[in-house]
Amino acid sequence: MHTYDNPVISGFHPDPSVCRVGEDYYLVCSSFEYFPGLPVFHSKDLVHWEQIGNVLDRPGQLPLPLPGAKASGGLYAPTIRHHGGRFWVVNTNVDGGGNFVVSAERPEGPWSDPVWLDLEGIDPDLAWEEDGTCWCAFSGPAGGINLARIDPDTGRVLEGPFPTWSGSGLKYPEAPHLYRIGGWWYLLIAEGGTERGHSVSVARSRSPRGPWEGAPANPLLSHSGTARPIQNTGHADLVQAPDGSWWTVLLGVRPRGFTPDVHVLGRETFLTPVEWDEEGWPVVAPVPERHAAPGGAWHPVPEPPGRDDFDGPALAPYWISPFARPEGSWSLTENPGRLTLRATGDTLDRPGYTFVGRRQQHHDCRVTVSVDPGTGRGGLCVRLDEAHHYELEVGAGEAGVVARIGPLRQTVASRPVPPGPLTLTVTIRTSDLVPASPELTDGGTTGPDTLAFWVGDPDAEDARPLAELDGRYLSTEVACGFTGRVIGMYATEGVVAFDWFAYAPASTPSG
């Protein structure tokens, strides 16, 4: 029997929604301020997922940069469904336009331009009756779950919106998903907030118009107040496997460090089984670190490549940029075999800069780039938002480590470097952490990890990092928001060329 480890999609991949077509599963996640938006994944077994594209991958689909764009703004909580031979995604752009629907014949795309819905709220869902009637459930502006009958092709609201069921009384009822299963309509929601109190609850009715009855065991799932290593569990979506078993994908976090614990990878995608009791209610298992896999064939997929030499005709779908990626800001053809970045802003402290990165997906990892700054300035950045990031920057014959933590910006260390291609490395480790205050922890540690910044080969016998910084300041609990760390290349002056980028998970010394 096969087993799987959670999370099934690691790193900043929150608010998962899933659908099955035949023996294939498709999943989308929130992307917030990053472009391209809404990553699309494919799996044959619910365990091994491969990113096959992004729903919003061209500037014409949404105004870019997003109007009023801000960190943790942008695109919230998509739902993916398959109906009438097409794939449908409904989503919210909280920074402009509101709720919209896009569709495609193939999940890889191309996806249509948005069809906007005159519905005020977030976290929309789509469900169809047998006669083709389409319902959109969403979290309304007053805080409850609303329902409207819509035409997804035109965006017209045909009936409603009207209130439905809004949970068991916990705060922020949201993330509704509506299903027809047997003779019942089930309404699955998240409540309790997306922090430690996050939970999953359900109600049912004989009609999508109600009346709704909440499950006696609500919330169906919550890790709040437990010692489980996976926390913030919620925002679930149900799917049935070909063998008849039921599963749910949901978000969660893996906090680390001294109390109150912090998480740095963002909210990730987890998988847990679902059973049905004698009364017809779903029973959701606590989210395990390891569990028996769904039945059927086992379909491992290639891991995202650890190294990109930028030899292809286009950037891989996992590369993302904050707010926008203007056409003139990057090129794979200007210097063939290199990613060339052209500065569009002179600092990473406010939107409008040139940055191309990928999500940090492992607690212990190493990222290395080969960079030629020429007469420009740029390097490697570990980003959470404009006010929380660490930079390893080269330019004008000098390398420096810069820390931006809230209102403070400081060059931590610097030294002269020769011209021409340089190797820059960031290592992130969860062992041998930055010492904590002895008065607090008797000489223990507080941060979840340590980030070390290197110029040259970190494995050389005489290698010394340029600086080491505590990772807690690049955590969600410090910076606030909905996203996780993204590590990438940037240019803040002139033109900077990157020959290759390598990302690799690393084992701790004890592991």
DSSP-based three-state secondary structure for 266: coil
174 carries an active-site annotation: yes
Question: What type of residue sits at position 306?
Answer: G
How far CA 178 is from CA of 79, 136, 169, 215, in Å, comes to 11, 8, 19, 15
Give, for 50, the enclosing helix (H) or strand (E): strand 50-56
15 catalytically annotated: yes
The continuous run of DSSP H or E covering 3 comes out as strand 3-5
The CA-to-CA distance between both ends of the chain, in Å, stands at 25
**HEC sequence for 186-239:** EEEEEECCCCCCCEEEEEEECCCCCCCEECCCCCCEECCCCCCCCEEEEEEEEE
Residue 358's nearest CA partner among 16, 29, 15, 34 is 34
Give 309's Cβ-side CA count (13 Å radius). 2
Q: Which of 33, 125, 174, 470 is catalytic?
A: 174
d(Cα 453, Cα 473) in Å, to the nearest integer?
16
Burial string for 107-141 (b: 16+ CB within 10 Å, else e) reads bebebbebbebebebbbbbbbbeeeeebbbbbbbe
Residue 446, beta-bridge partner list: none
* Residue 299, burial from CB neighbour count under 10 angstroms (0-12, 13-18, 19+): middle
How far is 82 from 293, CA to CA, in rounded Å?
24
Q: Distance of CA 481 to CAs 55, 75, 347, Å?
A: 23, 13, 21
DSSP letters of 415-454? EE--SS-EEEEEEEESSSPPB--HHHHTT-B-SS-EEEEE
Dihedral Cα 252, 257, 260, 264, nearest 10 deg: -40
Sorted by sequence, the CB contacts under 8 Å of residue 386 that are 6+ apart come out as: 71, 348, 349, 350, 351, 404
The tally of CA atoms less than 13 A away on the side-chain side of residue 390 is 26
- CA torsion sign for 423, 428, 431, 434 is positive
What's the token pair of residue 347?
A: 């600092």
Catalytic residue among 15, 237, 385, 449, which? 15
Dihedral (Cα; 85, 91, 174, 29), 10-degree rounding = 80
Residues tagged active-site: 15, 174
